[in-house]
Amino acid sequence: MISNIDFSAVATNVVNRGIDAILAVVVVLVFLLLGNIVASVIASVVQAFLKKVKLEETIADYGLEDALAGFTISQIATVILKVYLIFLFLGAAADVINIPFLTRIIYEFINYIPSLVQGLLVVIILLFVASYVGNTIQKEKKIAMAYQLALGIKIFLAYIGLIIALPLLLPGVGDKLAVLERILELFITAIVIAFGLGMGLALGLGLKDTVARVAEKHEDTIDGLFERTDRHPKLKK
């Protein structure tokens, strides 16, 4: 049986496959290099534009430079742009070397990026709003426990942002958000109840001294009213 094996054909097949593999790697590397160059150039243009319009300076003027945990809009935008462009070139390379499953995976990721951007926009906007509201409350000296209140509002808005953004950041989890939404409903209900009780106690304690002073001032008048009631049996009834 060994004598029937065409070793030259096997060797030729192995060599051809090796050459195809090397060519595929070279094609991918070339496209990856081109993608990285194009992505870097376009990212530099975007960074220059954002710097020219003074986006980061404007954000800092409102005291929101730490709203994104140390990241900046410019950094986030350039990273997403670079990844998107590089994967576009990788998709083109996968088409050239004719690897269907790799092409499918790459283009599925490329199609996911717009959804990712929408989710990040929701999170970024709500984090900015939360930071602005929190900073405004902390600056107000007349508000009791301003720091704790500001922190609570930041967490609350961040939680809302998470619920809104999760279906965009992780497509397919939309049906599993019922628990988070229920927790949000319970949280809001608890806040309303706590606020109502707090207002009631504040009004009660605040008006206690006022009511006492008014009663003391008009004590004679009040006693006179009770005396009239005692003199009129009909009023007693």
Question: Helical H runs in 98-177?
Answer: 100-139, 146-169
* Contact assessment for residue 127 and residue 135, using Cβ atoms and an 8 Å cutoff: no
Half-sphere exposure (CA, 13 Å, Cβ side) for 151? Answer: 4
pLDDT in 10s for each residue of the chain, 237 residues: 445 566 677 677 777 777 877 888 888 899 999 999 999 999 899 889 988 888 888 888 888 888 887 788 888 889 999 999 999 998 888 888 888 888 888 888 888 888 889 888 988 888 888 888 888 877 766 666 667 777 777 788 877 887 788 778 777 665 555 666 666 666 667 666 655 665 555 555 555 555 556 556 655 565 554 555 555 554 444
* Residue 105 amino acid letter: I
* Contact assessment for residue 71 and residue 65, using Cβ atoms and an 8 Å cutoff: no
Torsion of CA 163, 166, 167, 168, to 10 degrees: 120
Q: Which two structure tokens, joined as six digits, stand for 120?
A: 């990040």
* SS3 assignment, position 65: coil
Q: In the chain, what are the domain boundaries?
A: 2-174, 177-237
What is the separation of C-alpha 116 from the centre of its chain, rounded to a whole number of angstroms?
11
* Contact assessment for residue 167 and residue 190, using Cβ atoms and an 8 Å cutoff: no
Closest CA to 86 of 150, 32, 11: 32
